[in-house]
Structure 1
Amino acid sequence: MNTELIALLKANIGLPLSPELAADLCIAAGRLETLVQASDIGKIEPEHHEGFTFAIERIGDITDEIKPLHRAHWNETEVHRHNLPFNPDYETFCRYERAGRYVLLTLRQDGKLLGNCAMYLDKSTHTRTIIATEDTLYLLPEARKGRAASRFVAYVENAMRVLGATEINITVKTVNKACRFFRLLGYRHVENGLTKILETEDVQLETA
């Protein structure tokens, strides 16, 4: 009996079938193809650099620990969305993680969590190759010294390469200097992204 699927159906009885809910149902029902096997992810060993430890961890195991880091990231880089609720959906992160489509990489010092990079994995419909898309990449200020940040990114890149990804997509915010940092690491500026927060007055309803 698929208890996860039953619980998900019960929790959403009477609600519209949104794209997000449809994806969750497919994952819970086992209909969404597992893209990367857990055994392959487990092959990626931790690395050490000047007192820092880089590793792959399961977000389901460190949810409470990572919440303050997510809040710090939101406060520092997501100013344009601060009128929206900060409400990460950790259950969905875990579902994608179980399907081999979400990988969490962490940076620690003396056991303390100081940074993380979460990558979504998917197969491109244009090239049929695996694309790794950054969801979160954030280090606390005390982890931004020396070459820790660049070495962490190199660890992320190697992990994605091991998992079969041939392309990495990363977004950077205009509130910091991350764009210059990634350009120095060989990332190319190939597009500009624009964001608009829809206010109530932006929505015009036609009347008969």
Structure 2
Amino acid sequence: MEIYLEYALLVFTSLFAMMNPIGVIPVYMSMTSKLPSEEAKRVAFKSSLTACLTLFFFAFSGKFIFDFFAISVNSLKVVGGIIFFITGYDMLQARFVRTKSENETEVEFANDVAITPLAIPIICGPGAITVVIIYMQEGLTIVHNSILLFCVFGICSLTWITLLSSRKIFQFLGANGNKVMMRIMGLIVMVIAVEFFFSGLKPIIQGIIH
């Protein structure tokens, strides 16, 4: 039992660090602050659910898909890093990452941003997908794999609860506090993006050279 508890703690902390529920708040707020409260709640639920289902999907079929299409995790990191960087730059300017167009209804806008970029790649990014695939492949028993899936569900649920509480947090901070926090988080997201990009690019270049 102690071994399983240690494994659960390892998986949970690894996934939590990669998914970072707290870090999702500024991105979520930047895209939903103009939406009615009910629509914002729908975005929180749909993005968390989509991220959870996506991670479940990659847990069971990720390695097969990567092998079948000859996709490397490093390539995923490079693309994810570019998307992260663009998102972080928009946050650094304290502007909306994605704004509703004139011909787009609030429901359509909410559905769009809930999936991209919130669920993928903000909540469920290259790091989280990589962690899930690796732990699923390394799981020695069905108990280990069950622990992994439970941790995925738990962190996605925690992300949903965190996003539901985000408006109260931002109301407490005020308009200026929100912008400052968004810029700080934008800078952090850009730094993470650079790390992702080069951690994926370096092995690719080394492979070409050798």
Assess same fold via TM > 0.5: no
Q: State the TM-score, normalizing by the size of structure 1.
A: 0.24
Q: Which structure is higher in RCO with an 8 Å CA cutoff and minimum separation 6?
A: 2
Q: State the TM-score, normalizing by the size of structure 2.
A: 0.23
Greater C-alpha radius of gyration? 1
Give the structure with the higher percent helix: 2
